[in-house]
Structure 1
């Protein structure tokens, strides 16, 4: 027995609690949450837009699927047409793609074989002779700078796959009303005539390059002069 007056032994020391974890600052948590919400909102917005773009039908899709020869040819034409349209040149409200789609791709008088033949046309089949080039530039020195020339060159180059700069150099008369070998050669003032000329040059130059039936498909007659008259009078199948 312990003697009277002895102090009780000291209580054993309790284990010290581990320090609480340091909480992350509130600002980074808020920023992370904000970023997550923004990303979710952006995804929710972009998904329908991307889906809508993917669902948009390719012009002329009724002619053949994307894996068919004509489908691939049309996709290449339209892709180049849209790249050319980035220049912003329009004639009477038409872009190169819209005029090409309405007058050529949606025209049931234009066959798939003709579209495939267009992609095989080479520059030398379209080129104006050096003598006629000189006549063109003598009458219209700024021919290559005209919006109607750039529009016509862009549409024809996109359809054939020919380099537009080379085509402009070889055919300064593209987009001009009339012909180099005649007294009638000028830059049309009205947009109606400019659009008519651009489309007729498109069909007639291809006819001259060996793609038969292009004038008839669009204007109703194949002859160069008669089809040009129909074009000038505002006729045609488009």
Structure 2
């Protein structure tokens, strides 16, 4: 009690103004989260950083490094094949790249020397004669519009570096089963036959262009007719 008998009042501390809430502004530095890894401080006006997806590896690396002649040739083939595969054409689950990789690049019967020869094949070495082109288009007028033709042309053009439009114009029979000038020339209906035809045309046209041993490497026999028979029966080394 105070001297005059009054109970002392309880003193309460004077209230202080509440501290103003600090809100981040455009110029306020951002701090990294406690668990952030590899955090990079950026202005709030910067666009989000997006990392490019890692490039898909080139198959056939066992044949030679990227700086070797065969490595450079393969890289060019695969890059062109991937561009052609962007069209979405597949046969029995195979893209041009997957069929070429399995049947050619991963095939130890195909040599590096053959791959280098393929990379140097010219259009005139593959072109069908004007007379045979006429026979093809008479029997199959829409030959160039068939998916199997586009698939076969795309794979062969990518492997050689030839313009696919020029190759399609010069070889309308690519992808057709049989041969011009024979009773057997038609567009196969089943995907199994389409795929074997596409691959046999690939190897046999290259054989005709001077790349020796291509039919034997894939089908086990070099002769055109016999290798076509093996292909049609579902045989081969792929």
TM range (shorter): 0.7 to 0.9
1:230 aligns with 2:236: no
Number of aligned residues: 208
Distance 2:226 2:70 in 1: 30
Q: Does 1:182 align with 2:182?
A: yes
Which blocks of at least 5 consecutive residues in structure 1 are unaligned? 1-24
Aligned-pair CA distance for 1:46:
2.6
SS in 2 for 1:97: helix
**TM-score with structure 1 setting the length:** 0.81
2:171 is matched with which residue? 171
Q: Tell me the equivalent position of 2:26.
A: 28
Structure-2 change in CA distance of 1:39 and 1:70 (3 Å)? farther
Which residue in 1 is equivalent to 2:51?
46
Whole-angstrom CA distance in 1 between matches of 2:98 and 2:187: 22
Give the equivalent residue in structure 2 for 1:87: 87
Structure 2 spans left out of the alignment, 5+ residues? 1-22, 33-40
Supply the distance in 1 between the matched residues of 2:93 and 2:211 (Cα, whole angstroms).
28
Task: Summarize the alignment of residues 61-210 of structure 1 with structure 2, pairs less than 5 Å apart.
Answer: 61-210=61-210
Mark the CA change 1:39 to 1:64 in structure 2 (over 3 Å): closer, same or farther: farther
Q: Deviations over 1:82-136 (max 9, x none)?
A: 1111111000010000000000000000000000000111111100000000000
* Aligned residue in 2 for 1:213: 213
State the 1:28 CA deviation.
2.0
For the residue of structure 1 that corresponds to 2:168, the secondary structure is helix
Q: Does the Cα contact within 8 Å between 2:26 and 2:45 map onto a contact in 1?
A: no
| SS in structure 1 at match of 2:97 | helix
CA contact (8 A) 2:207 2:214 kept: yes
Would you say the 8 A contact 2:26–2:44 is kept in 1? no
> Could you say which structure has the higher helix fraction?
1
RMSD: 2.5
Q: TM-score, normalised by structure 2?
A: 0.81
- What SS is found at the alignment partner of 1:109? coil
